[in-house]
A and B are shown apart, each in its own frame.
Chain A
Amino acid sequence: MNLVVIEETVRRSVTSIAYVSYVALVGIISLGVSRFDKPGAAWPSLVALLAYIVGCAPIGPEFSSGTLQLILTKPVNRSVYLLSRVAGAVCAVWIATFAGFGCELIGRTLWSDASRIDIMGTALIHSLADTILICALLVFFGSFTRAYFNIAIYFVLMIGLSVSQGILAMTRAMQGALGAWLRAHNIVDRAIAAVERNLFTDAPPRLDWHWLLMVLTNAALALVAACFIFRNREVPYGAD
């Protein structure tokens, strides 16, 4: 890891008015919803949205803008740079995570409802891990594409997997050879469901170490693949 790159990545976020406003909004909303019954319900979604925004910036867009070419002439290993950018992006999102968690905790303490700390703590741990997976996947998609194609691929894949499961369910219900084949071979459904569960997973309501292990393992695999691709990638300047 390169601390200079991590610092710079965090600096770019925290000096952005949009980012600061968003974190403030996360805090205010978390404080507001702390009066409601369901703990840890609002800020994880807001934080995930921020993870998409912050996490899509490394590598792909830098390739297109020419920033990457400037960086690669410096004495920084490509993999170290990639991992440091992800670490910086994750840190920037985690600031919002802790802001949301902290504000909700303050709110619940003020309204004498601090007993829900276990559920909130679970949401915090799950949200922290989920941020790593989102950023890792976005940087993986960015390692072989340009501009903001990473976020496009992410959502197309996420929506595509859900849609394809629906189409498969309808096709399976149909008469005919294809429907019969799908009914006999559910490996296709299972494979698609497994990919979706691994990449675009919803956090379980209770602390689930298996889920955490799966998320962190998938993030690690995405980062290893991203490092491998990025290390061998050609980055001509004036590329776009």
Chain B
Amino acid sequence: MSGVRVRALTKSFGTHAVLKGIDLDVAPGEVVGLIGPNGAGKTTLMSCLLGFLHTDQGEITIDGRANDDLRIRRRTGFVPERMNFDRRATGDSFLRYMARLAGVARTETGVRVNAMLERLDIAAAAQKRLSQYSRGMLQRIGMCQALIHEPDFIFLDEPTSGLDPNGVLLVRDLITEQKARGAAVLLNSHQLAEVEKVCDRVLFLSGGVIARAETLRHADRIVIAVTMLRGSFDPAAIARVAGAEPKDNVVIASVEAEADIAEMVRELVATGAGIVDVRRHTADLEGIFRGAA
């Protein structure tokens, strides 16, 4: 499986160029965040990827096939920002329809629907009409319909919008599960904290181009930020152990596995440094957003 691949994608509406040569890759088992200011072209990019819009130029392939290939659609899940459907349908009947459309066998539909409703914690509302659902419940059922057929390529547009903190945690867990299952996930969100928590990479879209790309989680190493007590450390000794000069009283180091973090900290303490805080280091998305917007 080769994931989502976009090359030199351009899209205009009339004379207004919205996307100006986008290159994008989402590998299987990877979660890529798409951030950017309003009007940057995130929704247009998502629409092109899903085949809602025709591209002017460029190439979109998903697992080596065209994005509108029905074999790819069978393996695609999409959560729109606002879930719209026949509001008279119950949650259960809506999911059954979506599951059947997605190619789930009739005999399996009931089991999968019940499992998804339980997983998203809305089983109690299964027989209620969608018109009675809150925004958060609609968002949860939107997640259900996208994941019910265990897709390999998942496109999420603001999946946590309207969700309470429990819902946000649930969605975060679900995204992590999909990643662990090997799905390629593209997450479009304004909630930078969520993007930071779940994404391996983040792409900052501005003015129709990928203005910046940051790796938040490396596949082969863990980057940590160690905060030390001011005046307690020798910068040269810290640089020898961590492989990087401390900036102010923080040194950014990388280790191969979680088990190596404790060893790194022990070595830093051995140089005489007083350790105040150790945490996983990710890019400062707010800073990037402010700087690049």
Contact = CB atoms under 8 A, between A and B. Distances in A.
9 contacts: A2-B101, A4-B101, A15-B88, A69-B50, A73-B50, A74-B98, A235-B52, A236-B43, A237-B52
Contact of B84 (A15, A70, A232): A70
B53 interface: yes
Interface stretch (A5-13, A128-136, A202-210): A5-13
A2 B97 CA distance: 12
Interface in B47-104: 47, 50-54, 70-71, 73-74, 76-78, 80-86, 88-89, 93, 97-98, 100-103
A238 B84 CA distance: 10
Interface residues of A, number: 26
A236 B85 CA distance: 16
Contact of B80 (A4, A66, A75, A76): A66
Given A70-B80, A70-B145, A73-B73, A234 B86 contact: no
Interface string A197-240: 00000000000000000000000000000000000101111100
B78 A73 contact: yes
A71 interface: yes
Nearest to A235: B52
Interface of B: 43-44, 47, 50-54, 70-71, 73-74, 76-78, 80-86, 88-89, 93, 97-98, 100-103, 145, 155, 157
Given A66-B80, A74-B98, 6 more contacts: A2-B101, A4-B101, A15-B88, A69-B80, A70-B78, A234-B52
Tell me which of B54, B83, B85, B157 has the highest count of chain A C-beta atoms within 10 A of its own C-beta. B85
Contacts of A122: none
Contacts of A71: 101
B82 A66 contact: yes
B132 to A, nearest CB: 15
Contacts of A75: 70-71, 73-74, 101-103
Contacts of B98: 70, 74
Contacts of B89: 12
Contacts of A5: 101
A238 B50 CA distance: 14
Interface of A: 2, 4-5, 8, 11-12, 15-16, 65-67, 69-77, 232, 234-238
Nearest to A12: B86
A73 B78 CA distance: 7
B278 to A, nearest CB: 42
Nearest to A15: B88
B37 to A, nearest CB: 16
Contacts of B82: 66, 238
A139 B73 CA distance: 24
A227 to B, nearest CB: 15
A169 B62 CA distance: 60
Contact of B97 (A8, A15, A72, A77): A8
A77 B68 CA distance: 9
A237 B73 contact: no
A4 B83 CA distance: 20
A73 B88 CA distance: 22
A237 B47 contact: yes
Contacts of A4: 97, 100-101
A73 to B, nearest CB: 4
Contacts of A11: 93
Nearest to B50: A73
Given A69-B52, A235-B52, A237-B52, A16 B88 contact: yes
Nearest to A73: B78
Given A4-B97, A234-B53, A12 B102 contact: no
Contacts of B43: 236-238
A154 to B, nearest CB: 22
A70 B44 contact: no
Contacts of A2: 101
B88 A12 contact: yes
Nearest to A237: B80
A72 B74 contact: no
Contacts of A70: 78, 80, 83-85, 98, 145
Given A11-B93, A236-B53, A238-B43, A67 B85 contact: yes
Contacts of A232: 54
A59 to B, nearest CB: 14
A234 B73 contact: no
Contacts of A76: 70, 73, 101
